[in-house]
Amino acid sequence: DLPSRAFSGGSAIFTSLLLVAVFFYSFAWQPFLRQPTRHRVMVTGTTGYLGSHMLETLSKVEHHDRFDVFHFGDNHNPTRGWTGRRLELTNKQEIDRAVAAFQPHVIVHCAAISQTGACEATPERCHAVNVLGTRNLAQAAAALAVPARMILISTDWAYTANTTMVSELGEANGFGAYGRSKVAAEHVVQQFLPDNHLILRSALIFGPPSPRQPQLRSTLGWMVTAHAQQDTITVFEDEYRTPVSVNQLCQAIVAALDLPVTTSWRYTFKQRDSTVTGTSPLIINVGGRDRLSRLDMAHILYATLGRNTGVTGDPMAQLKATSLTAKGLNGKRPADASLQTERLTRWLHESARGYQQELDRIVNHLVP
């Protein structure tokens, strides 16, 4: 009868439309939803210590076929087709053009004025680079048709109080001009990329010299030189950190680069941690396993160098302990900036490594 035929015809039309929709989804939309085989990664600060190590990490055989890289620095890797160009973070038009041209999936923001003394001496310059420069980058990332994800390298100086093994939920108003500038930069990234940012609050970084600019050395550099020259050095016995190797920090960044870019990072982290809410900042502490004083770090370093070079004797003989109070630095440096790193494991599946473990791995690259 007529109603049955009408129903049958309507059902056929519905089925046809459904098949068309499935076909369109499969062959038209899927390319936009599929995880890209090569991520376009923009890295800032590659003329600095961390950024140069990050560029070296990405250029290794196991990584270089997975990433196309644009970096803020000299063109070190023309054979890989990577582009490097010196750009000024405070020049908004220059940043807008670079980001729009490269269309990055992820921006790794290492660039900053990180010398705490320089930040105290020239707070306006510190704010311009660390805060306004970050704003320029975040705005450009958010303006893309498909907004880029952004990894901001922050600091253990973001935390306000001297708290032993502080978690990401600790009070964070910034310690000193440097710490305050980095907290302000964190807020900027959260504002413009609320669901697609990742803030890595790094502990004190140690490691071998920069692979591209050997004069750029970590906090261990001057200690290694003094050990080789058998000079006595003075180090703080009451300033505690959880030092992290530059290799581990770079590996944590690579783990973040492997996160899906077809869904928001907030969604991804919610799947890994039920405490993530719709508005909470996406922050991970990246530190080493060991809470050590500066004196502890120097002692372990000198003992390791002695074993490696065959030099016998008491490693403490070249070390002289002092305190923040004795140097008039109480309130100017955090007495305890040690970090809890459980979230590093839950969110990025990376485990904090021991100071001695990392020293043993890099000691041959430390000796001048």
Report which DSSP code applies to 244: E
Give tens-digit pLDDT for 171-192. Answer: 999 999 999 999 999 999 999 9
Q: Is the dihedral of CA 202, 244, 39, 265 positive or negative?
A: negative
Query: In the chain, pLDDT over 70 holds for what percent of residues?
Result: 86
- Average pLDDT of the residues of the chain: 88
CA 46 – CA 76 distance, rounded (Å): 10
Helix, strand, coil percent values for the chain (each to nearest 5)? 45, 15, 40
Please, are residues 160 and 173 in contact by the beta-carbon 8 Å criterion? Answer: yes
Concatenated DSSP letters of 294-362: HHHHHHHHHHHHHHHHT--S-GGGGEEEE-TTTTT-BTTB-SB--B--HHHHHHH------HHHHHHHH
Give tens-digit pLDDT for 268-280. Answer: 999 999 999 999 9
How far, in Å, are 49, 119, 261, 282, 296 from residue 347 at the CA level? 25, 31, 15, 10, 30
Give tens-digit pLDDT for 343-363. Answer: 999 999 999 999 999 999 999
CA 172 – CA 193 distance, rounded (Å): 20
User: b or e along 315-342 (b: 16 or more beta carbons within 10 Å of the residue's beta carbon)?
Assistant: beebbebbebeeeeeeeebbbbbbbbbe
Report which DSSP code applies to 156: G
Q: Which of 81-85, 104-108, 202-206, 242-246 has the lowest mean pLDDT?
A: 81-85
**Rounded mean pLDDT of 46-65?**
87
